[in-house]
Structure 1
């Protein structure tokens, strides 16, 4: 097969360290993590990826699009050890698979961004502002387009684990948050990566509460109106600046937050049922009130009541988490908020960082978070023509039964910014991996898609990856069912 210019391979939601993650190894017959050995699925994934990398003209970059390390449901040491196993398999085996790691944190590993940005801010202050001078506010986002090397944020936490491995002392690890983009001004093509959590209203909690408590108009707004206005009027730094503490607390560090976090996994597992979620709201609101100082609300009691009202309202409006909507790949609510996010915060950041009119761009948007891989065309008012949307799916089991809406895809980007997905597996279906390309009706197949179709996905190691992934799904679903029964009152 002729060499092809693959530049980026993107995986998301691998949840390293989580007992229900397929890339986390388990003690045989138990739901106890064995972090000192790579999981069979991780080894099979490496063998399959090597087939693609061998046909590339140079080593591509690995994009981990959020929820790479599981920092909410597993110990920091456990997540770090499983991360080391991935590094050993991908970078220290017979064939090195990638030249670098580009890490875009999500909600379950948001704390990686918090540490990285604070270190970057401290370094900037030390270089640019002498003692006694006024200091600028800290920023809450990185640039989308990394045109210069110093735009990247250095993740000292991740680098510490990478560089302790023999032979990886010089491996580059770069962080961007929450958006990472690739832009070709000549062809006016752009690919934007975002984990996907900021598309969901639950991650805008503090901004929504602020608007409920201090409405801008005389008549109170509906929650949908508030959400629409947040996306329409706030830039990405404002959104993150108001909500980072909430995201970091519950979705990235609560599992390591002492007594309040001891039962956090029970909360996450009960999020699968709206009825169970209602039962948990009181305990969750109490924990939030104790741990967070919500602006403008005096006292834990009032904070607790405010959070209770907000969460109950979200449930009543059908705005539960997207990954717990198994009846469809993308619910209408998330399609609406995705369009609002792209037309608002993402468009504003893109405009600020480039001289390309977004209305002229051929945009591809890649996200994860939902654990439901899909590919589709969307009409987004801020951009011309069709917007191509790819979801990576995820490598974790969070339903009691395997359902085919869940699974995992690999997203590939070539040097011309063509994008295609390789759907590696869907839960419960034993078919081979399938290349997928989103394109408008008048467009032809891209060279990238044609190249992917040249692979024999009916052969080993691809079918072995599917087999091991499906077996791992069944095992983890069985463990999840057993834990759900044990935790019943």
Structure 2
């Protein structure tokens, strides 16, 4: 058995609070991989050994376009290339990368949609509209032009490519009945289905869409507007600073939501002549609806997933996973495969809380294996107990194993890198655990470097918070 795919999510390259972004002391993006990134690549290379190079799957929010300028993000992506595809050294992965866009890099899918439409126009066809979604299975036909343009900055990667899929991509073996499907995870989170919720309210109907196409058509523009391009939004983006940090405070979240809502309603009135006080239903005005939707998005719903530090999933989140797998995803899999797979593994990220488990889902005979990648970004001054990171490994037999990389240091000690399955028998997990053990010296170095970086970042943020508090106290005294 060999590892066929390595799935990484939530790298947030370009973000200063990502453990992978290499920055100088003054905050400028540096050349070459960070210590954490280099140590990870070394550990994984040693673990893989001399087997055929697996395919890298970037499962959303790999680029921090939501909060970081395009230039910083681009320089940091080159750091990833230098670690995984070093000039003059052995490649860590094969040279066809699969990219599945998330919420913070949804803009890449928007670019791919436009390019796909233009390509058809140039071939003499006039499509009916932009592609809303891609097929789940098969090699994606869309290209990620931003990343492929960056590949040109590394001449030795002239034959590399980046194929983009959205919002899902997977591999199926109809003979064995197994399939693995990957989704960044944002559509499992009700805050990213805000416009579907509005539509459900106005129609007194079911808010959760029945198909992937409907899900993306209703909510894609919303995600692109508020979550995927703030890094290049000039004053608005810089005022937000860090959306994660804003969400950690209910007051700050509410203030941010109010500011965004004022911009929306003011723009509707000034540019389109639409009165935001116009009644819609039950005495609710357009202004009320917009403010409620934005406040829910920037505040309370965000806290549900990111601030639930005592658990990886709550009841509502489990219900959302069941809906996503059992309704829009099952609908698309039946269209492409004729039926749902007998044995499904589902991989997602987004929450920054790695775990693996099994979940009973209506319509599936066998419990679905659920795997979360966690993330590489520090949402808080330090990690909370359930936060951390994992890389997902997919075998040629479509078994999935979680390479658990790090979690919150307990009593100042990092748990060692280890391999875990979802609970069912898993030969991949057993074989990879042996390979990780053989590479233990490299993984110990990785754990020590990660721990040092977390402590360093925690100290820096604590000093920043204390300085801000002292400044507020001085201003209040004056």
TM-score, shorter chain, exceeding 0.5: yes
Structure 2 gaps of 5+ residues are 278-284, 473-478
**1:123 deviation in Å?**
1.0
1:229-378, aligned counterparts within 5 Å? 229-231=206-208, 233-289=209-265, 298-299=274-275, 304-312=287-295, 320-355=303-338, 357-358=339-340, 361-378=342-359
* 1:60 equivalenced with 2:37 (yes/no): no
Residues 402-433 of structure 1: CA deviation (Å, up to 9, x unaligned): 22211111110111101111101112241211
Residues 341-361 of structure 1: CA deviation (Å, up to 9, x unaligned): 111111111111112x22x52
Deviates more, 1:345-354 or 1:457-466: 457-466
1:177-256, aligned counterparts within 5 Å? 177-212=166-201, 214-216=202-204, 229-231=206-208, 233-256=209-232
- The match for 2:475 is none
Aligned residues: 455
Deviates more, 1:395-404 or 1:479-488: 479-488
* 1:380 equivalenced with 2:361 (yes/no): yes
1:9-48, aligned counterparts within 5 Å? 9-28=6-25, 32-48=27-43
Kept in 1: contact 2:98–2:164 (CA 8 A):
yes
- The match for 1:145 is 137
Counterpart secondary structure, 2:371 = strand
Kept in 2: contact 1:367–1:392 (CA 8 A):
yes
Kept in 2: contact 1:377–1:389 (CA 8 A):
yes
Counterpart secondary structure, 2:203 = coil
Kept in 1: contact 2:402–2:420 (CA 8 A):
yes
Residues 149-201 of structure 1: CA deviation (Å, up to 9, x unaligned): 5x421111110001221200111211111000110101110100000001111
Kept in 1: contact 2:67–2:243 (CA 8 A):
no
Counterpart secondary structure, 2:303 = coil
Residues 284-323 of structure 1: CA deviation (Å, up to 9, x unaligned): 3224446789xx9934566553222234567997663512
| In structure 2, C-alpha distance between the alignment counterparts of 1:471 and 1:277, rounded to whole Å | 31
Q: Structure 1 residues 439, 307: CA separation in 2 closer, same or farther (over 3 Å shift)? A: same
| In structure 2, C-alpha distance between the alignment counterparts of 1:126 and 1:318, rounded to whole Å | 43
**1:482 deviation in Å?**
4.2
Kept in 2: contact 1:285–1:305 (CA 8 A):
no
Structure 1 gaps of 5+ residues are 217-225
| In structure 2, C-alpha distance between the alignment counterparts of 1:176 and 1:169, rounded to whole Å | 22
**1:51 deviation in Å?**
1.1
Deviates more, 1:339-348 or 1:92-101: 92-101
| In structure 2, C-alpha distance between the alignment counterparts of 1:313 and 1:159, rounded to whole Å | 36
Kept in 2: contact 1:62–1:101 (CA 8 A):
yes
Deviates more, 1:105-114 or 1:450-459: 450-459
TM-score by length of 1: 0.87
- The match for 2:82 is 88
| In structure 1, C-alpha distance between the alignment counterparts of 2:197 and 2:68, rounded to whole Å | 29
Residues 45-94 of structure 1: CA deviation (Å, up to 9, x unaligned): 110111123242x1110011000111121110001001011101101252
Cα RMSD (Å) of the superposition? 2.4
- The match for 1:157 is 146
| In structure 2, C-alpha distance between the alignment counterparts of 1:401 and 1:73, rounded to whole Å | 20
- The match for 1:112 is 108
Q: Structure 1 residues 319, 462: CA separation in 2 closer, same or farther (over 3 Å shift)? A: closer
Kept in 2: contact 1:111–1:252 (CA 8 A):
yes
- The match for 1:463 is 444
**1:454 deviation in Å?**
1.2
Counterpart secondary structure, 2:4 = strand
**1:398 deviation in Å?**
0.6
- The match for 1:222 is none
Q: Structure 1 residues 288, 66: CA separation in 2 closer, same or farther (over 3 Å shift)? A: farther
